[in-house]
Amino acid sequence: MNHLYQPTHPDSLLQADWLALHEHMPPAKWGSLPSFSGAAIWLGMHHSLRKGQNELDYLNRQMLEQQLDWSDYQQRVLQAAWMHHGHLEGHHRYEDHSCFPRLLKLAPQLGKGFDLLEHDHELVAECVSLTRSLLNTVKHSTEPQLDLVERLHTAVQTQGTLLYRHLADEEDLVIPVLALHAYTTCMIE
């Protein structure tokens, strides 16, 4: 194993030996993948998930800075969360039940890495559950509650910290497999 290959996220939970495929498909090459490839589609999905997470963080900061009125905040944060969480849960369900099993057949040496990713999905789901509970309180509040927004902001930041590390770890494992095998089956079935 060439130890030159390190995870892209500074807080990664990946082991260095799981990155052996980076020798053939390092992160520096990912931007040049064909836009129709499974790897590029995967990266696009992750970009969208990061954008959704950023939107939740932004809306909470705007409310805490009193840049939004309560009803506008409620409408925007509830809509953004509904869309983001639905996308996130659907993406993770699809990965766990369809993509990861297929990718594992192509790269069985990454089994422990895929187990880690599936465990991350459970942790993200717990964060989403807490966030939803707070969002439900926001939904039913008729008056501005900045203490509630602060708690929601903290929950969203915790969710984001986990999600951003998870997405980077997932890309470090999955993108080389998809790119090197020109594998698109899990993206279209």
Check if the beta carbon of residue 107 is closer than 8 Å to that of residue 174: no
User: Which residues are CB-contacts of 125 (< 8 A; sequence separation ≥ 6)?
Assistant: 89, 92
Is pLDDT of 3 > 90? Answer: no
* Distance in angstroms (rounded) separating the CA atoms of residues 27 and 176: 8
Q: Using pLDDT thresholds of 50, 70 and 90, give the confidence band for residue 37.
A: confident
At residue 169's C-alpha, the angle toward residues 10 and 124, to 5°, is: 100
Is pLDDT of 7 > 50? Answer: yes
| pLDDT score of 35 | 82
pLDDT tens digit sequence for 49-90:
999 999 999 999 999 999 999 999 999 999 999 999 999 999
pLDDT (mean) for 90-98: 93
| Secondary structure class of 5 (helix, strand, coil) | coil
User: Which residues are CB-contacts of 31 (< 8 A; sequence separation ≥ 6)?
Assistant: none
> Cα dist. 22→13, 52, 117, 172 in Å?
16, 28, 18, 8
Is pLDDT of 12 > 90? Answer: yes
Q: Using pLDDT thresholds of 50, 70 and 90, give the confidence band for residue 124.
A: very high
- Tokens coding 52: 């959704």
> Would you say the pTM of this structure is higher than 0.75?
yes
